[in-house]
Amino acid sequence: MKTKEESMTAERQVAIVSGGSRGLGRAIVADLLRRDMIVAAFSRSKTPFIEQRLAADPRVESFHWASIDGSDPQALAGFARDVLRRYGRIDALVNNMATLGDGLLTMMRDADIHAQVSMNLESAIFLTRACLKGMLPQGSGSIVNISSVNALRGQTGVSVYSATKAALIGLTKSLAVEVGPAGIRINCVAPGYFDSDMTGGFTDDQRARIARRTPLRRLGTVEDVANLVWFLLSPEAAFITAQVIAVDGGFVG
C-alpha cells in the first residue's frame, strides 16, 4: 500500500541533496524545488533557510530535512531508506557536502586529514551506495558529484581537499561504467571560485586578482553551479554520463 506522500507525489521526481542548508547546497535545493522536484536534504544543523522551507511545507509533501552526521555511514543509509519509504522512489542524488581544511600538509593534524577524507569522500561513497539501492530497481537515476577545480589543477595549501575532490572524479567515471547498463547516469561538476562561505573571507584584492585571471572577469555564483547541476539531472542530459565539467569562467590557474 502506498504512503500518503507516495500517492500525492507519484508523478514527481525525488532528489536527495547532501549539505543542503547553506551556500551551494542551499542554492541547489532552492533551484530543484523551483523546478517542481521533491527534495530531501540533510545537514548537521537547521539554518534559517531550512526553517523557512519546513514552515512553507509542514506536511512534507515537497521538502524533507533531517539533522544527519555526514560521517556516519549508518545515518546516511537510514536517511536514504527514509526518503524511499516516504516517497517510494529516489531519482536524483547531489553529493554536495564537503569541508575545506587549508594548510600545508606537513602541518596538518591527523584529525583534520581524517575529517576531510570522511566528509568529502567517504560520505559520498556511502550515500551513493544507499541511494543506488533505490535507483537500481527503478532502472533509472542520475547522480551529480560536486568536485572542485582544485582536483584538476594544483594549488598550495589544499592538498588533502584536492585529493578528496579528485577521488570523486574517479568515483564518477568508474561508477558510470558500473551502473550505466542499469539506466543510471553519473556526472561530476567542478566549480571554480564562486561567492560562498569559503570565499567570504577573501579580501577585495584577492577577489580582484581572481577576477583578472578569469576570462569572464568575475567570480562565479551559486546559481551558475546550480544551473549546471539541474541540467545534468534533467532529461536534456539523458545521453551524458561519466563527464567532469568545470564551472570556473575559464579561470587560468
Could you give the residue numbers annotated as active site?
A: 161
Helix, strand or coil, per DSSP, at residue 41: strand
Residue that has been written with the C-alpha cell 541540467 in this structure: 231
Pairing mode, if any, of strands 184-191 and 63-67? unpaired
Burial class for 106, CB neighbours closer than 10 Å (0-12, 13-18, 19+) = exposed
- Provide the strand spans (E) within the chain: 14-18, 38-43, 63-67, 92-95, 141-146, 184-191, 244-247
To the nearest 10 degrees (0 to 180), the angle between helices 123-138 and 159-179 is 20
Q: Which residues of 164-187 are buried (b: 16+ CB within 10 A; e: fewer)?
A: bbbbbbebbbebbeebeeeebbbb
How many Cβ atoms sit within 10 Å of the Cβ of residue 115? 15
CA-closest candidate to residue 24, choices 187, 202, 222, 188: 222
